[in-house]
Amino acid sequence: MLTRIRNAKMRKHEVVDIPLSKLKLELARILKEEGFIRNYRVVGESVKKNLRIYLKYIDNEEPVISDLQRVSKPGRRVYVGKDQIPSVKGGIGVAILSTSKGLMTDQKSREAKVGGEVLCYIW
């Protein structure tokens, strides 16, 4: 999902379609709440559903998402405790964590005092 968004923003696409999963839907919800995308929607037939993400640009030129960086990978999972939650670019960016209470941003997981797996950094 992150690679598709990164590729779409580099080519200045308005929309990107991604095969749907619950994790991707929650990730899109967080991106919308944080203001990185305009909107998202589930489209498609009953079996082949896609997540359509509408990218956000400043003055129709500069993408709001500067960069996406995946942290945890299948070969190397990165877990943090409640005291080691990273801040991205001095608080400008957002770290997304998979916690026992669902997907959360770094700020919300600090407030909830819960750690988890660091999925990605977005700034």
Q: What's the burial of 47, exposed, middle or buried (CB within 10 Å: 0-12/13-18/19+)?
A: exposed
Which of 62, 67, 1 minimizes the C-alpha distance to 29? 1
Q: What confidence score (pLDDT) does residue 61 get?
A: 86
Banded model confidence at residue 9, pLDDT cuts 50, 70, 90 = very high
Pairwise CA distance, residues 76 & 59, whole Å: 38
Beta-carbon contacts of 32 under 8 Å, excluding residues fewer than 6 positions away, are 38, 39, 40
| Domains of the chain (ranges, CATH numbers) | 1-65 (3.30.1370.30), 66-123 (3.30.1490.10)
Q: What confidence score (pLDDT) does residue 90 get?
A: 87
For the record, the structure tokens of 58 come out as 């400043």
Burial letters for 102-114: b for 16+ Cβ neighbours within 10 Å, e otherwise? ebbbbebbbeeeb
pLDDT in tens, 33-84: 999 999 999 999 888 999 999 999 998 889 999 999 999 999 999 999 999 9
The dihedral through the CA atoms of 80, 83, 85, 88 has a sign that is negative
Beta-carbon contacts of 101 under 8 Å, excluding residues fewer than 6 positions away, are 112, 114
